Structure 1
Amino acid sequence: MEHELTTSFFLIFSGAALLASIALVTRQPLLIAYIALGALIGPYGSGWVTDTNLLAEIAEFGIIFLLFLLGLDMQPKSLIATLKQATFVALLSSLAFLAIGYLVAINFGFTQTEAAIVGAAMMFSSTIIGIKLLPTTVLHHKHTGELMVGLLLIQDMIAIVVLLVLFSMSEGQFSASSLFKTGLSLPLIVAAAFAGVKFILLPLLQRFDRFHEYIFLVAIGWCMGIAELAKISGLSLEMGAFIAGISLATSPISQYIAISLKPLRDFFLILFFFSLGARFNLGLLGEIYIPALVLAALLLALKPVIFRYLIHGMSESKNLAWDLGFRMGQISEFSLLIAYVSAEMMLIGQAASHLIQATAILTFIVSSYIVVLNYPSPIAISDKLRRD
């Protein structure tokens, strides 16, 4: 097992370095190289890397650290104001995307349950893509970044509710008590996190701030501890990591922690995109490629338009509304989780699960091209648009 994992890491990161070099020379987004590598050497390609479930679990740390770092740069007062502003847009847009996914799936012969789950998976936009392609200065210091984070967070909360409903469906009925428990646990975890920072973490960090290794260790421990607490309480690991970051945001040492953890985040995010490509069964492509192309095309065309009119209706400028619309024009890593969980619980068949996965891959790739070709981003094709 140990040698298999070592060999897998060698193949993944050596292959990623090679394909990333080709991507940069040909001026392509790097995430395409990682997804392509997964398809090439994963179990449905050459079969050189087979334990994709383990790699997918490891890759989840990338999302956890991404949300933790995002929380570190968000001031609680501005976040609350943004959430209030973004709620209406997030809810209305989610209903529209649900309807698009449902109608496409039902018209291609999927069952009512499968169509509903496919529709639910279309409601969200990718936190990873959205934040990775947003310049740091815009993300942390401008209204565009605040509004995007607010929309993504509300979508994440909706995703948690969808997952709770799916888990309850496996038992034959919806569990209202589980949903109530989750709703109650959120403010309790937030309160516990802020209290822990004020009375435990900050005194320790102020006393031992000369030991950089200690700060790094405490930051990771705090992130994973609150993430695990959130999971036990019925929330997601990602939501817990964001709460952990928010609770530390007012600390003067938060920026040092953020800079220290960025390489660790990027390491795990490479594994995330690799596992996405590796877990896709290419043998089912002939069965689902037409509905996947139709669904992806509709979302890529309609998501920016729907976001543009809803966000502009909040008295935001047209330019900002279009910017956010195109940046959030894909579906989400939560969509993939819904596909995996639903298939494991046999609520949907493999074809429906792979329809969601194929749509995710297509929208990830095309949306990334649209952003890097037309909007400022850290990996923009044009030097004029490249911003870090």
Structure 2
Amino acid sequence: MDVPITFYFFLIFAGAAVIATVALFTRQPLIIAYIALGAAFGPHGFSLVSDTQLLADIGHIGIIFLLFLLGLDMQPSALWHTLRKSTVVGLASSVIFFSGGVAVCMLFMFPLTDALVVGAAMMFSSTIIGIKLLPTTVLHHKHIGELMIGLLLLQDLLAIIVLMILFSAVNGAEGSMPKQLAISLLGLPLLAGSAVLAVRYLILPLLARFDRFHEYIFLIALGWCLGMAETAKLMGLSEEIGAFIAGVSIATSPISQYIAVNLKPLRDFFLILFFFSVGARFDLRLLEQVWMPALLLAALVLAMKPVTYRWLLKGVSEKRSLAWDLGFRLGQASEFSLLIAYVAMGAMLISERASILIQATTIITLLASSYIVVLNYPTPIAISDRLRRD
């Protein structure tokens, strides 16, 4: 008997509302709540939701919107200004975190491909956790906010490159990945140039003429995002890359922030489905195989990231207190880590054991890092009145 998708939506969103309430009371990131709900309701839990592939396909749209909105926030001039300050720290730290992830995997006899993908997944810190736990006044007016945004933007760009490599491996036949990657790299500037021209001579004139009709702006934004996603796919890239370029190409327009604000609820709707599907695919039985490397890798990430940022930021003349603050705020794995595990596993580039290792490590670090920051640094959801800032 086929279960109607409306029943799936009822289970997911009603359940998400309940578990999100618990998460907020316990000062946990909502991402964890959605993943936990997926693990409980999915085929490896109570089996209330069995068609996880359908939900994963729907949730994939959320990732497309996420990268579109990320691009909308990346105005080229501001991007260059922030990246210029954080490039050395960002690249050096990424190499250290990558090496740490690879080393743990090799210690536990993972295949080389698994180790490389796990190492890549450990390079990134959570944009959602970092920004959500940073007080608004600090984010907009303090030096730490500028540094954090610069580092996160650089990591987001590195994540895009990693995803490009993974998608090239997916699209290329065995043994032809370098060729497919070369084709993708050649197609990237062509797609970007076409997007800039289309925005300048078509999209912006249309928006300027009909900007009084808010529904029209919404439709143009959706059509541009999804149209570029499909164009990128036809060119051998990925929908995510196309959506990111679509956002960057329109970021210089004043209308970009209006579009970003209005698309966030739609993005959040699909992202809940994506993180639910991540949890639903999480086979708790496999934890027996990875609990030891997951705990070791999580402990390494939680210890190594603050120390690394402290050391690197001191090298560029930042204050010790600021360096520790920033290091602990970025001391976790990322939602991009989950996406990398999802894409690599779907393409059968890594083993299911490696995918579970990435997911388990990410979840552990998100939980632990949230508690460390909330209990010790100013945040909008701090338990102590002394630390609560918004």
Q: TM-score normalized by structure 2?
A: 0.87
| Distance in 2 separating the partners of 1:313 and 1:228 | 44
CA RMSD of aligned residues (A): 2.9
- How far 1:320 sits from its partner (Å)? 4.2
Q: Which runs of 5+ in 2 are unaligned?
A: none
Q: Out of 131-140 and 6-15, give the one that drifted further.
A: 131-140
Q: Answer yes or no: is 1:143 the counterpart of 2:174.
A: no
Aligned length: 387
Counterpart of 2:87, as a letter, is T
| Distance in 2 separating the partners of 1:221 and 1:346 | 31
Instruction: Tell me the residue number matched to 1:228.
Output: 230
Q: Which runs of 5+ in 1 are unaligned?
A: none
Q: Answer yes or no: is 1:53 the counterpart of 2:53.
A: yes
Alignment of 1:207-356 (within 5 A): 207-356=209-358
Contact 1:74–1:140, Cα closer than 8 Å, also in 2: no
Alignment of 1:104-143 (within 5 A): 104-134=104-134, 143=146
Q: Percent identity?
A: 61
Q: Out of 95-104 and 10-19, give the one that drifted further.
A: 95-104
Contact 1:97–1:119, Cα closer than 8 Å, also in 2: yes
Counterpart of 1:245, as a letter, is G
- How far 1:295 sits from its partner (Å)? 0.7
Contact 2:28–2:370, Cα closer than 8 Å, also in 1: no
Q: Pick closer, same or farther for the CA change 1:116–1:261 going to 2, 3 Å.
A: closer
Contact 1:104–1:295, Cα closer than 8 Å, also in 2: yes
Instruction: Tell me the residue number matched to 1:368.
Output: 370
| Distance in 1 separating the partners of 2:357 and 2:313 | 29
Contact 1:130–1:328, Cα closer than 8 Å, also in 2: yes
Contact 2:295–2:361, Cα closer than 8 Å, also in 1: yes
Q: Answer yes or no: is 1:159 the counterpart of 2:162.
A: yes
Q: Tell me the SS of whatever aligns to 1:28.
A: coil
- How far 1:284 sits from its partner (Å)? 1.0
Q: Pick closer, same or farther for the CA change 1:337–1:8 going to 2, 3 Å.
A: same
Q: Pick closer, same or farther for the CA change 1:151–1:169 going to 2, 3 Å.
A: same
Contact 1:303–1:325, Cα closer than 8 Å, also in 2: yes
Q: Pick closer, same or farther for the CA change 1:187–1:6 going to 2, 3 Å.
A: same
| Distance in 2 separating the partners of 1:193 and 1:359 | 37
CA-to-aligned-CA distance 1:62-116 (integer Å, 9 cap, x gap): 3332333333333211212333443333332222122211221222232334333
Contact 2:164–2:237, Cα closer than 8 Å, also in 1: no
Q: Tell me the SS of whatever aligns to 1:209.
A: coil
Instruction: Tell me the residue number matched to 1:63.
Output: 63
Contact 1:79–1:146, Cα closer than 8 Å, also in 2: no
Contact 1:227–1:238, Cα closer than 8 Å, also in 2: yes
Q: Tell me the SS of whatever aligns to 1:188.
A: helix
| Distance in 1 separating the partners of 2:389 and 2:221 | 27
Q: TM-score normalized by structure 1?
A: 0.87
Instruction: Tell me the residue number matched to 2:196.
Output: 194
